[in-house]
Structure 1
Amino acid sequence: MTLIFFIISLSCLALGTFFTLYQFFSHNFVLPEIYTKNLSDNFLLRYNPIYVFSGIFILMIYICVTTFIIYHSFEKTQAPDIVFFLLFLVACLCDTSRLMVPMFQVSGSFSLFMLRIGNITLFARLLAPLALMGNTVMITDDFRQSTDRNCIILIIVSMFFAELIPLNTAIVLPNFCISYGYEKAIRWFCFLTCLVSTIALFQTNKKNEYKQIMTLGFILLCIGYSLIFYCFNIANLAAGIIFLGGGTYLYLNEVHKHYLWID
């Protein structure tokens, strides 16, 4: 399953790179008109579409590299931690669908295709924190036997609300995301979900007398993903790469040590 997802993510990276370069070199590349209210003029925080593209492609590369590491290091491990982390990577891959907004020049007019891009992006925005929550809350003995079912439930819940929450296809946000309703509520939902997940992981490690390096990695991972999602300036891009990469390394390295110890 991990190998299949690696092939899919690698294919998405190749296709995204090909179509983007094709549009650019054929001079058909048109940037979408974005919502520019409250954007900073500071050099580090200034909007630049190059950083949006960089963030999306870095996320694609991150998915491919991380999936390969999981396949190589956890090939024989059917642990709930890894299953939920792969679900998080699925959410990350869905998030990169934002690239299709400038790639296919669908902004500025209502279309079913643009609506679906918005649904997929919103689905990813909801699924990512839920998958990370499953990674910390749903790995106890009570949930261990129903990991697949819990993953399906999280996917269905995310799909349901992604279809239910209204989209405004007339507005494209600076990160090439279609504007959606209840934005502040969704931000709070993501923050609180990650906070609860962090507390749960901290308590689990404390109970089992593990080092809190895994918790630190998890916190950095959550911050890094959020920065990459909202990446449209050099500050977010640089910090997002450091936090996401460093957090993932610390977290997966500690998980790997844990299962080596069990074996």
Structure 2
Amino acid sequence: MNAPPATTVVEPLTPHLYAPDAVRPLRAKEHFLQADTFVELHVHPWPQLTFSTRGVIRLSTQDGSYIVPPSRALWVPADVPHSITLIEDAELRTVYVHSWLAPPWERCEVLEISPLMRALMLALDTTPDGRAPADPQAPHRERMIAPLLIDEIERATQIRIDVPLPADKRLRQLCETLLRNPADRATLAERATAIGASERTVARLFHHQLGMNWQQWRQQAVMAHALPLLARGMAVSQVATACGYATDSAFCAMFKTATGRSPTAFQHKKPR
């Protein structure tokens, strides 16, 4: 999970100043970050819910990469190393949750944000330790909000827009190259040559490491790229081009096969 090229690299955003505890079981923080900022790999012993009030982010773990537009939030379990890449300027919000409150989920989950969930997250004080909370009643309000927010998290619709990544170094290089440029339509044979392997070897690695074939994985990578573009209101024709499709109809057919819905069903207005 190295920084992509041409990025601004920043250290972890002071999670130690927002550690949840029994008195304050929810802690929230906010940061405005510019596009192409890369937050270095870090880990902490409590789970978190990450979302952006505007802008799209990519959160990466050892096992995969997750695209998070403003209509989604990402649950990251405790002790999972992760890094964040800003796909565009974003107002990043993170809610840390005391472990005894958290759902027993062992993997990251992309969640649809309900209006109530958004309101509860935005109601949390974002003052770090060492400074008096902006709201003197913040600890009391956090304890009141906690059970309702956790209930909303557990009720939320889970959406599969993650892109799993392999452990094999050569295959991971191939996958990360496509993630950086989803419009590149190079064949599997061409990509295999670029990493010094045969097409047959790479095809076998996809099955063994990821449990899917090249076309299935590429489709998930393209979907993860397309969904935030649609969420920002980009025209379907532009999204198709950005994903490497020569025609809108071919892109729409792939999209409907993958989701059962047309791309326009995933276009959202930016939240105010």
TM-score normalised according to structure 1 size: 0.25
Higher RCO by CA contacts (8 Å cutoff, separation 6 or greater): 1
- Larger Rg: 1 or 2? 2
TM-score normalised according to structure 2 size: 0.25
More helix by share: 1
